[in-house]
Amino acid sequence: MNTSTRLRGVFSPVITPFAADLAPDPKRMVRHCRWLLSQGVGLAAFGTNSEANSLSTPEKIGLLDALAEAGIPGERMMPGTGCCALSDTVELTRAAVRRGAGGVLMLPPFYYKGVSDDGLFASYSEVIQRVGDARLRIYLYHIPQVSNVPIGFDLIDRLLKAYPGAIAGIKDSSGDWNNTRGMLERFQPQGFDVFAGSESFLLANLRAGGAGCITATGNVNPGPIVRLFETWQGADADRQQEALDAVRASFASFPMIPALKAAVAHWADDEACALVRPPLVRLDAQQRSALLAGLEALDFSMPGL
């Protein structure tokens, strides 16, 4: 693969703002994406913390259109396009590629459990062939604790051999550093880029040759995460990692998506940003107060939001 097409750095599954009627709110989405880009963070819209699986394919394509019309650069985007239905995955992936996305983050089809590597290979193969575009760069999405459909090393090896131009890398959200390290050791020499699934593993991933991280808290703590990516070889890298871990722990003490949205609503002074789609619910007043108090103790802020 041409190295100029490879994505690196810090990406975030962009939170999806909703209007009062729970329709996606493209204006707020554009505003948040512009802020993330200003902080050096790439856009992995329609990831887990984007409430992606609460959005329809037409809604996602509509948001892609809104971002493109607002001049958001496609090369800084890695939208999630993996769906349960093959046809939805193909349609959404085509839309992303045609709008210039630098890559797509693709879950395996995740409803049926215990599926074989043959079935998963066939699914990815069908998507690649049906999209039929040499610009397609797929970043596999390994999050077995949620999808219950793991992406194993043998499957990665098979996909790389069959589609070396299309299979670009992976987001490992397993939370198992040994698994991430094994991916790096086995596949990184082949030009397969490995992103850690949170900033908790960012420093370790970079030291082992990884490409960066794709992290929920990039939505709220982008500057310091990007700073570690840019200065990880410096003397204070471990201290920076510890500070990132402390902020991450504050958010992880609450349901993650409502907590992220509560923080954005607070610092943007825009209560509509706290809206989530059912079955998720917003943080209650006590939870929100506790979240903000914990962040204040860490001197946390969201400058420029």
Q: Please pick, among 57, 60, 93, 171, the residue that the annotation labels catalytic.
A: 171
The per-residue pLDDT for 253 is: 97
Q: In the 8-state DSSP scheme, what is residue 111?
A: S
pLDDT digits (tens, 9 = 90+) for 214-259: 999 999 999 999 999 999 999 999 999 999 999 999 999 999 999 9
Q: What is the mean pLDDT of residues 97-103?
A: 97
Give the pLDDT band (50/70/90) at residue 16.
Answer: very high
Q: Averaged over 66-76, what is the pLDDT? A: 97
Residue 283 lies in a domain: no
Residue range of the domain that includes 85: 7-235
Mean residue pLDDT across the chain: 97
Q: What percent of the chain has pLDDT over 70?
A: 98
The answer as to whether 244 is a domain residue is no
Burial of residue 60 (CB within 10 Å: 0-12, 13-18, 19+) is buried
Nearest CA to 61 out of 26, 92, 16, 19 is that of 92
Q: Which of 124, 139, 141, 163 is catalytic?
A: 141
Tell me if 265 is assigned to some domain: no
Inside any domain, residue 154 = yes
Listed in sequence order, the DSSP H helices in the chain are: 26-38, 57-69, 86-98, 117-131, 144-147, 153-162, 177-187, 202-207, 222-231, 237-252, 256-268, 285-297
Is 48 a known active-site residue? Answer: yes
Q: Does the residue 245 lie in any domain? A: no
Q: How many domains does the chain have?
A: 1
Q: What is the pLDDT of residue 128?
A: 98
pTM value > 0.85:
yes
| Mean pLDDT score, 284-291 | 98
Tokens describing residue 206: 């970079």
Looking at residue 1, its pLDDT comes to: 38
Q: What is the pLDDT of residues 29-40, one digit of tens each?
A: 999 999 999 999
157 located within any domain: yes
Per DSSP, the three-state class of 197 is coil
> φ, ψ for residue 168 (rounded to 5)?
-100, -30
In a domain, 294, yes or no: no
Grouping H, G, I as helix, E, B as strand and the rest as coil, residue 82 is coil
pLDDT tens digits, one per residue of 147-177? 999 999 999 999 999 999 999 999 999 999 9
- Flag whether 291 is in a domain: no
Give the 3-state secondary structure of residue 12.
strand
- Active-site residue 124, yes or no? no
| Local confidence band at 3 (pLDDT 50, 70, 90 cut-offs) | very low
Band (pLDDT 50/70/90 cuts) for residue 6 is: confident
Q: Has residue 2 got a pLDDT over 70?
A: no
CB 219 within 8 A of CB 264: yes
* For the chain, percent of residues with pLDDT exceeding 90: 98
pLDDT for 181 beyond 90: yes
pLDDT at 93: 98
- Residue 273 reports pLDDT greater than 70: yes
Q: What is the CATH number of the domain that holds 34?
A: 3.20.20.70
| pLDDT over threshold 70, residue 68 | yes
Q: Name the active-site residue from 5, 27, 111, 231.
A: 111
- Label residue 173 exposed, middle or buried (CB < 10 Å: 0-12, 13-18, 19+): buried
The one catalytic residue among 48, 81, 215, 217: 48
**Could you confirm whether 111 is annotated as catalytic?**
yes
